[in-house]
């Protein structure tokens, strides 16, 4: 059985980096994810006075007495969590600062978060299109004119998380009232669990629609970041598709991440999933269950991995709960469909729902020549998850067609995986060895 270790969670890394930065004492973070997004987060926080001391995969975070903006605009690439979380820092920071990113980051909507910050008294100035980065903020230093914020419509869970993370540093705390619970509710639940670890007191009512966060937090001396469950979807899918026994070590008995539910998708496709202490194994592969409809609203970041898997199994597989994929690093629905079309895989898109016709029909000798000449576009998307999904698909196809993976189809700009898993291609080659 192959034994592998995957990187720490990006979602949790950026959450705890911010909490450590605003805490009351230094925190040692273990199993730190070193990626483009987390580097951008540290870079901005450093400019606010936070000190970082790195030691391998561990990082000592020392918060300043108070966060102070430097008046500069900080480049954050295409890091959505950094854009949302650091925008909310304007509620507790003293002084001014700005954020800017790549062109795609300037197309990712922030209007609901900016409106929430504005209702609490933050002066948010959009330097391009209203409701988008680049933007400039004048901080409130934790002193708000009111302590209740109302969010209307189906807001992003990242907007809610951004407010939750800074709420303990607001004088009197913060009450968040939502008209409806966001579709990615597990990400909010993850944030609340992390707040508990930082000693934050809060109440949740109305089925999660109202959250009242009290002022004050007590940082732990040490925190170990669980493995990234979005990242775990790639080796899990790889093992299931190739029917190769695999154990993910340090998977985590308590991952706090909704994307852990992807293991159930692998089980549907025939894997036996066994969790033992901190490890998780995929073995004893059997026949897949019948084609069905999957609702990925609790874990949209791994929906594309599920799509790549469905290509290999007979039937029409429908994927729902994908609306948030339209405004990620790229339009992930369109990017996946474009790639499948190049490979001869039949798809149908109705609104934000995708149906994939799975089976071996597209793996014919006649089509393989076309597949070998294809190039899956990621350079215009700059999307790490699109690249990794097609990397897994390519590896699975290489086994079933007995063609070397590198000779099947090219993946444009493969280095975009550095956003969350810089060594992905090297690791994938080791799985195949």
Mean pLDDT of 367-387: 83
Domain ranges of the chain: 2-213, 229-432
Residue 378 pLDDT: 66
With 80 as the cut, is the pLDDT of residue 338 above it?
A: yes
| 229-432 maps to CATH 3.65.10.10 | yes
Q: Which DSSP string do the residues of 89-140 spell out, in sequence order?
A: GGGT-BSEEEEE--TTGGGS--HHHHHHHHHTT-EEEESSSTTSSSEEEE--
Residue 381 pLDDT: 64
Mean pLDDT of 125-133: 97
Strand-pairing partners, residue 376, are 411
**Interior CA angle at 374 toward 371 and 377, to 5°?**
135
With 60 as the cut, is the pLDDT of residue 379 above it?
A: no
- Residue range 296-310, pLDDT digits in tens: 999 999 999 999 999
Distance in angstroms (rounded) separating the CA atoms of residues 268 and 134: 43
Distance in angstroms (rounded) separating the CA atoms of residues 429 and 433: 6
Catalytic-labelled residue, pool 37, 259, 301, 427? 301
With 90 as the cut, is the pLDDT of residue 66 above it?
A: yes
Per the model's pLDDT, the better-predicted residue between 357 and 407 turns out to be: 357
Residue 259 pLDDT: 95
Confidence band for 285, pLDDT divided at 50, 70 and 90: very high
- Residue range 197-249, pLDDT digits in tens: 999 999 999 999 999 999 999 999 999 999 999 999 999 999 999 999 999 99
Q: Do domains 2-213 and 229-432 have the same CATH topology?
A: yes
Mean pLDDT of 345-364: 96
The residue whose two tokens read 């550095």 is 418
- Residue range 131-151, pLDDT digits in tens: 999 999 999 999 998 999 999
With 80 as the cut, is the pLDDT of residue 351 above it?
A: yes
Burial class (CB in 10 A: 0-12, 13-18, 19+), 433: exposed
Residue 246 pLDDT: 97
2-213 homologous superfamily: Enolpyruvate transferase domain (3.65.10.10)
- Residue range 201-215, pLDDT digits in tens: 999 999 999 999 999
**Is 70 a residue of the active site?**
no
Mean pLDDT of 156-175: 97
Q: How many helices (H) and strands (E) does the chain have?
A: 13, 22
Mean pLDDT of 315-333: 94
In this prediction the pTM is 0.87
With 80 as the cut, is the pLDDT of residue 99 above it?
A: yes
Residue 155 pLDDT: 85
Cβ–Cβ < 8 Å for 137, 72: no
The residue whose two tokens read 């956003």 is 419
Residue 377 pLDDT: 79
Residues present in the chain in total = 433
Dihedral class, residue 256 (left if φ above 0, else alpha if ψ from -120 to 50, else beta): left
Token output for 340: 């499948």
Cβ–Cβ < 8 Å for 310, 318: no
Mean pLDDT of 43-58: 96
With 80 as the cut, is the pLDDT of residue 153 above it?
A: no
CA distances to 36, 344, 372, 385, 411 from 415, rounded to whole Å, are 11, 25, 20, 11, 10
Mean pLDDT of the chain: 94
Token output for 413: 């700009």
Mean pLDDT of 9-28: 96
Residue 110 pLDDT: 96
Residue 249 pLDDT: 93
Beta strands 210-213 and 27-30, pairing class: unpaired
Confidence band for 57, pLDDT divided at 50, 70 and 90: confident
């Amino acid at each position: 059985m192959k034994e592998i270790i995957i990187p720490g969670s990006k979602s949790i890394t950026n959450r705890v980096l911010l909490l450590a930065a605003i805490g009351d004492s230094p925190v040692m973070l273990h199993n730190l994810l070193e990626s483009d997004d987390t580097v951008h987060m540290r870079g901005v926080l450093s400019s606010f006075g936070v000190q970082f001391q790195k030691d391998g995969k561990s990082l000592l975070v020392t918060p300043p007495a108070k966060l102070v903006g430097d008046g500069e605009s900080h480049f954050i690439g295409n890091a959505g969590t950094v854009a949302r979380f650091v925008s909310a820092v304007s509620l507790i920071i003293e002084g001014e600062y700005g954020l800017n990113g790549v062109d795609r980051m300037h197309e990712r909507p922030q209007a609901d978060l900016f409106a929430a910050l504005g209702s609490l008294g933050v002066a948010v100035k959009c330097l391009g299109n209203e409701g988008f980065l680049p933007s400039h903020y004048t901080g409130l230093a934790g002193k708000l004119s009111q302590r209740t914020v109302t969010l209307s419509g189906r807001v992003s869970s990242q907007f809610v998380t951004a407010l939750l993370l800074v709420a303990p540093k607001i004088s009197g705390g913060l009450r968040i009232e939502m008209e409806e619970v966001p579709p990615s509710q597990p990400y909010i639940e993850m944030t609340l669990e992390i707040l508990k670890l930082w000693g934050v007191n809060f109440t949740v009512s109305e089925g999660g629609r109202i959250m009242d966060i009290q002022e004050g937090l007590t940082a732990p001396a040490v925190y170990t970041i669980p493995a990234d469950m979005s990242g775990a979807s790639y080796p899990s899918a790889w093992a299931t598709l190739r029917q190769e026994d695999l154990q993910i070590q340090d998977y985590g008995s308590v991952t706090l991440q909704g994307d852990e539910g992807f293991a159930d998708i692998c089980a549907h496709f025939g894997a036996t999933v066994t969790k033992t202490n901190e490890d998780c194994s995929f073995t004893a592969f059997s026949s897949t269950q019948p084609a069905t409809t999957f609702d990925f609203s609790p874990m949209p970041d791994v929906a594309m991995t599920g799509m790549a898997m469905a290509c290999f199994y007979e039937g029409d597989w429908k994927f729902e709960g994908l609306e948030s994929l339209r405004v990620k690093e790229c339009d992930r629905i369109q990017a996946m469909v474009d790639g499948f079309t190049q490979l001869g895989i039949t798809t149908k898109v109705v609104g934000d729902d995708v149906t994939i016709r799975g089976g071996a029909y597209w793996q014919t000798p006649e089509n393989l020549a076309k597949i070998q000449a294809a190039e899956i576009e990621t350079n215009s998307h700059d999307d790490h998850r699109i690249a990794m999904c097609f990397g897994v698909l390519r590896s699975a196809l290489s086994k079933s067609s007995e063609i070397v993976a590198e000779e099947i189809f090219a993946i444009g700009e493969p280095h975009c995986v550095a956003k969350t898993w810089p060594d992905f291609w090297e690791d994938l080659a080791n799985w195949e060895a």
